[in-house]
Amino acid sequence: MYTPAITGSGIFTPEQVITNAELVKAFNAYADLYNLEHAAEIEAGELPAKEHSSEEFIVKASGIEQRYVMDKTGILDPKVMHPLLRQRSDDEPGLMAEMALDAAQKALKQAGKTAADVDAVICAASNLERAYPAVAIEIQQLLDINGFAFDMNVACSSATFGIQAAADMIRSGSIRSALVVCPEICSAHLEWRDRDCHFIFGDVATAVLIERAEDASGPYFEIKSTRCATEFSNNIRNNNGFLRRSRPDGVADRRDMQFMQNGRKVFKEVLPMVAEHIAGHMAHEGVEATDLKRLWLHQANKSMNDFIGRKVLGREPEAGEQPNILQDYANTSSAGSIIAFSKYSDDLVDGDTGLICSFGAGYSVGSVLVQRRG
């Protein structure tokens, strides 16, 4: 049995930013157009009027202040309200692969390794831009990596599930190393016309290189243990898919073909599940709350992270113990906990223990206990 370790991480951040002020202005303009167009139905009580959004509402509901996106022009156009992405030919690199390539190259550089040192690529993301061929295999080709690659989707928990898969293969000796990449174009599946969720998501790509600890070129994070769990729920759902055209009204502009959630139920049901999951994982590994130096949590909502931090540590987290990045990046699905890990892990010293945790649709929750070495 070999010891798996995270030896490098990288983040691709889009150039374009949408502030809450910009987003609110666009949404309110859309709401006014909608209300004008449907004035008769609204007056007759057949349709509810669209309410305005506000910066105060967004920050209070989520803690989000801005988000990075691949295209803001379409999102901020009240007559479009979704990103406008260039149609690429099949001979060009796909957009997700291109984003992942940047993050992967940064992870390799940090680890002091090259593509020749990688045996596998796992593309773990909530939304893949096509059914096949696998985006992971395209990334593998762009990096000129030998070996194999595959896609996987466990929604917002995809990164931690991907890390577990890679770590297990390394432990068994079937591979020496793997890149787990999470390219997330969340702006494309978000319903920007829905006041309750129009502010939630942003775009990003992350990558982590996982190797045998003995092959590490510098300081690394030993993967001490991983744990994953799932429980089916319809409270976070997207009904888009390849069977859409085969069903009555399948190609219509239906609300359920984009991100949907019952936020109150998610908050009520997911938080206890995550807190119990982490507590069970730590207890099984003999890790006390006082042993944890850092919690890198899924970046969906500040209130959720603060609640989990208090539950896990048994007190209010001190500054830096449970870093949030969603104020800048918003919810980036599977990538959120990895962004937090990548940005807030360099200060840990040899022997420090931390926990990466992601949770989301499924329901799904994944946790990774790591320890700094070197």
Q: Are strands 353-360 and 292-297 parallel, antiparallel or unpaired?
A: parallel
The percent helix, strand, coil of the chain (3-state, each to 5) is 35, 25, 40
Cα separation of 43 and 31, whole Å?
A: 15
- On the 0-12 / 13-18 / 19+ scale of CB atoms within 10 A, 271 is middle
- Of the candidates 250, 78, 221, 237, the one whose C-alpha atom is nearest the C-alpha of residue 163 is 221
- The position carrying tokens 């787990």 is 180
CA angle 129, 131, 132 (to 5 degrees): 105
Write out the E strands in the chain.
Answer: 4-12, 16-19, 66-69, 120-124, 148-152, 177-185, 203-212, 220-230, 236-237, 260-261, 292-297, 353-360, 364-373
From 156, 186, 197, 357, active-site residue: 156
Angle between helices 158-172 and 336-343 (to 10 degrees): 70
156 is catalytic: yes
Per the structure block, which two tokens stand in for 123? 């593309």
Query: Catalytic residue positions?
Result: 156
